[in-house]
Amino acid sequence: MIFVGCQTQPVPPEAREAELLEDDLRRAGAPVYVPEGTFAYEREHRAAKDALIREKAKPGWFRNYEQVRSKYQDLLTQGRNVLSKAKELKEARLAVLAGQMADLRRRISMVKEVSASINENQEVRKNLTKAEVAFREAELHAGRENLTEAEQKVNTARSHLARSEGAVYALLERYQDAGQVGKWRTWVAETIAHSKKTGQVVLIVDKLARKLTLYEKGKPATTCDIGLGRYGLSDKIHSGDDATPEGKYKIIRKIPKSAYYKALLLNYPNEEDLKQFSLARKSGQVSSRVSVGGNIEIHGGGQGNITRGCISVENGAMDKIYPQVVTGTWVTIVGTADLDNGVMKVIRKM
């Protein structure tokens, strides 16, 4: 009875801690962020478990877990260091992803703001929609910490958004040309000066701002929103291009009843338009079968109406404008005369 009173040593609690720590490492993505350290931990963990199994196989009174405990304690120190490093790297990756997504969110918002001001946005809108879908998918993956999938979706969104931004830049390139904007501003200044000198009413149309302003004695008296041609931000060159012309025009006819409520017919094409058309035809830009076009009006029907090149306003606005103008009233149409226009501010930030 020499073994009476002997007790079997309990299994070191560090063994259970090591099992839990291995699970924590996998959940933290340690095999991705610290692969060598993770594999070393797993290898040493297997060795520790083998040592524990061998010790447990001994009769209870011969078991001594001190060496096994020491091995597990070293293992836990090793694993905690790996876990800390994995969390650090993961947080850094999350921070980079968050920054990329914040930039994407900002750029998407700006393109949406610009696209709301232009009719010719099919290419812009198509790629913007694809970018938004990919961005939402990236947000879902990021929320679940599926970082690789989130990063892939971010790259997809970036690609589509770059195409959308490229379409915006191509469309509005001349709106950022100092010479072109300077010419538009000169037209506006000359038109307002004419109103101030003669006391006559004049109309100024800013296509980018989508505004028509009636000036009286050189002072703005009435402003209303407008609709443009399908490709209204482009300068009209020929019939069928659905662009809205730019230049200094005059009202040549008042139409009290038209297909679009009341209308004011402009003298498009004027001499400058004919010169531009002739040059475009000589350069091959315009087919010999295409004419310069005509019948450009300011008419009612609603500013939300997409025209074939005309300028549309709400019927109520037309009721205010119509009685104040006469045959011969100056109408100046420009791309923009305001470099601080909200759209231009957004473009400069893009």
Interacting residues of 234 by C-beta distance below 8 A, sequence separation 6+: 120, 171, 241, 243, 244
What letters, b where the CB count within 10 A reaches 16 and e where it falls short, cover 77-86? ebbeebbebb
**Which of 176, 199, 224 represents a domain boundary (last residue)?**
176
Query: Are 332 and 194 part of one and the same domain?
Result: yes
Dihedrals phi, psi of 121, to nearest 5 degrees? -115, 20
Query: Are 261 and 332 part of one and the same domain?
Result: yes
**Which of 123, 151, 176 represents a domain boundary (last residue)?**
176
Ordered strands of the 201-206 beta sheet: 219-225, 211-216, 201-206, 330-334, 247-258, 261-266, 297-299, 311-312
pLDDT at 345 over 80: no
Query: Are 46 and 74 part of one and the same domain?
Result: yes
Each residue's pLDDT tens digit, 302-318? 887 778 899 999 999 99
CATH number where 315 lies: 2.40.440.10
Query: Are 43 and 144 part of one and the same domain?
Result: yes
Query: Are 245 and 256 part of one and the same domain?
Result: yes
Query: Are 266 and 301 part of one and the same domain?
Result: yes
pLDDT at 89: 96
Domain that holds residue 42: 1-176
Query: Are 163 and 236 part of one and the same domain?
Result: no
Structure tokens, 255: 């139409």
Averaged pLDDT, 133-161: 96
Query: Are 208 and 163 part of one and the same domain?
Result: no
pTM comes to 0.72
Each residue's pLDDT tens digit, 38-72? 999 999 999 999 999 999 999 888 889 999 999 99
Query: Are 104 and 2 part of one and the same domain?
Result: yes
Query: Are 189 and 149 part of one and the same domain?
Result: no
In the chain, % of residues over pLDDT 90: 71
CB distance 216 to 284 below 8 Å: no
Dihedrals phi, psi of 59, to nearest 5 degrees? -55, 145
**Which of 137, 157, 176 represents a domain boundary (last residue)?**
176
Each residue's pLDDT tens digit, 238-268? 998 889 999 999 999 999 999 999 999 999 9
Domain tally, the chain: 2
